[in-house]
A = this chain, B = another copy of it.
Amino acid sequence: MNKDQDINPRVLNHISASEGALSQQVYLSIKNAILGMEFRPGQNLRKALICDQLGVSRAPVAEAITRLASEGLVDVVPQSGTRISYFSMPEIQEGVFLREALELAVVRKVTRHLTEDQGRILNRSMRLQTLLVEDDDISGFYEADEAFHELLMSFTGFDRVADVAQTVSLQVSRARRLLLPTPGRIVESLEEHRAIVDAILARNEQDAQDAMRRHLGQLMPRIELLHERMPELFNRATSEGREIA
């Protein structure tokens, strides 16, 4: 019945001998495997296999799984098992909503308090992004894109904003990696970033928010396409919104 429901833990990054708590390394290792879709939705995690593969005991693995569960990346069924969570459109919509709420507040604050240094750094980021688009370096632009948003958040002067934004939209991030970025799309993204930066530099709060909203608005339709194309990655929600399987 269950052909390959179980996970092949060979994809886990071996624990580097580097510093850092063991449970943290286990956490990152599994998290990366999930976000990179090397663990597919529905597969169940086998603690024993993970322990063998990483050469650690169950304690740090248990702690890592607890954290992943709190972030919604895995569903843990007491006394039964732990499975990689399916995508769920309601959850993703909520993640997009939360993300937009934060990004808009960030843009508002940054526009209001932008320093000259920050302006220079923004321009520098845009030049880098332009370069990457000219070179059709899609994965490079992907990274620069994330860095751009993190940059804006760091300009608020708050430390946790970026973390919170990442956490509330983890499911979105996971889905986003399946949206094959096209040369056409990164050109659009670049233009949208340009509009955001222009509005910020012009100290135009409303324009900056609108530009950010337009930028983020591109995401949801593309995820809906993914939903149609790969429905097996999504759960079937019951009437109560509860999940099956």
- List residues of A whose CB falls within 8 A of some B CB: 21, 63, 66-67, 70, 78, 90-91, 93-94, 97-98, 100-102, 104-106, 109, 156, 158-161, 164, 168, 241
Contacts and interface: CB of A to CB of B under 8 A. Distances in A.
Given A67-B70, A97-B109, A101-B106, 6 more contacts: A21-B78, A98-B102, A98-B105, A101-B102, A101-B105, A164-B164
A98 B21 contact: no
Interface of chain A: mostly helix, strand, loop or mixed: helix
B94 A161 contact: yes
Contacts of A159: 90, 94, 241
Nearest to A98: B164
A78 to B, nearest CB: 7
A61 to B, nearest CB: 13
6 contacts: A98-B102, A98-B105, A98-B160, A101-B105, A102-B102, A104-B104
